[in-house]
Structure formats: structure tokens, C-alpha cells
Amino acid sequence: MKLKLLGFVKKKKREEEKEELEAEEQELEALDGEVVEEEEAEDSETITNIIERLNEIDNRLPRVDVSINNLKRELGDLREELTKLDDSLKDMMALYEIVSAQINPFVGSSKVTSLSIERLDEMEKRIEELEFLIDGISHDLKLIFKKSLNVKDIVNKVLYEEVLS
């Protein structure tokens, strides 16, 4: 009988432990369900936040695109202005070298100065040639009008030749 009693007590303990384990499992499952529900709620909130942020970004994107295009245009304008300033500065430096080379005897001539001086000399020669030609033409005109040429006869001859041809 003692054995039966011991067997019965052990069986009872096992059943109680089994019931406790089942109760703990049910509690764990309930907690897991709550955790899953909380995680799902957090996930849906995160998804909602992400969707709102994407919509906000989507709304700002056209404005950003317009701003970028405006900046590109302004950069192009600045580039053009810098190029013009660079060209002007080069011209000013060439002019400075020419002037300083003519005034300052201690400044040596560089290639740029030599070329610029040569160009100026050529221009001066051409101007002198043109002045000489203009003087010659004005002298010839004075001679023509002094000899009392009849300009009307010359014009009539030219017109008569045009009518014949």
C-alpha cells in the first residue's frame, strides 16, 4: 500500500507540475500574443510615419528640382561673367605691359609685349599710309576743281552711256 500511495503521490505531483507547465505555457502564449500585437501596432505606426514622410518628400521634390535648375542657370551665368572678367583682365595686363615697357626702361620685353608693340607699330604704319592716301586724294580733288571741270558734262556722259547700254 505504501507503494501505491507513493505512486499516487508521485503521479499527483507530476499532474500538478504538468498543469503548472500548461498554465505557464498559456501565460507565455498570452504574453507572446500581446507582444506580437504591440509589435504589429508599432510596425503599423512606423509604416504610417514612413508613408507620411515619403508623401512630404514627394511634395518637396518638384520644388527642389526647380531650385536645382535655377542654381545651374546661375552657375552658368557666373561662369560666363568669370570668363569675361578673365578676358578683360588679360587685356588689361597686356595693355599694362605695353605701357610699362614704353615708359619704364628697366622692364624687359616679353613675348606678349613684343607682339603687342609689333601690332601697334604695324597699325601706326597703316595709319600713316592711309593719311598719305587721303592727302593725295584731297590734293587731286583740289586740282580737278581748280581746272574748272564741268561736272555736269561728266554726269551727262555717264548717264548717256548707261542709257545706251
pLDDT (tens digit, 9 = 90+) per residue, 20-70?
888 777 777 766 666 666 777 788 888 899 999 988 888 888 888 888 888
Q: What is the pLDDT of residue 41?
A: 76
Q: Is residue 120 part of a domain?
A: yes
149: region left, alpha or beta (phi > 0 left; psi from -120 to 50 alpha):
beta
Looking up cell 508521485 gives 10
Mean pLDDT along residues 115-131: 85
Q: Is residue 125 part of a domain?
A: yes
Q: Is residue 157 part of a domain?
A: yes
Chain centroid to CA 69: 9
| Residues 99 and 116 sit within 8 Å (Cβ to Cβ) | no
In the chain, the number of structural domains is 1
Question: Which domain does 148 fall in, by range?
Answer: 109-165
Q: Is residue 34 part of a domain?
A: no
Q: Is residue 79 part of a domain?
A: no
Question: What band does 104 get if pLDDT is binned at 50, 70 and 90?
Answer: low
Distance from C-alpha of 94 to C-alpha of 89, rounded to nearest angstrom: 9
Q: Is residue 128 part of a domain?
A: yes
Q: Is residue 156 part of a domain?
A: yes
What share of the chain in percent tops pLDDT 70? 75
| Residues 97 and 114 sit within 8 Å (Cβ to Cβ) | no
What does the radius of gyration of the chain's CA atoms come to, in whole angstroms? 53
Mean pLDDT along residues 103-124: 70
Select from 142, 143, 139 the least CA-distant residue to 131: 139
pLDDT at 111 over 60: no
Helix 2-103 to helix 111-146 angle (10° resolution) is 40
For the entire predicted model, the pTM comes to 0.34
Question: What band does 5 get if pLDDT is binned at 50, 70 and 90?
Answer: low
| Residues 154 and 144 sit within 8 Å (Cβ to Cβ) | no
pLDDT at 109 over 60: no
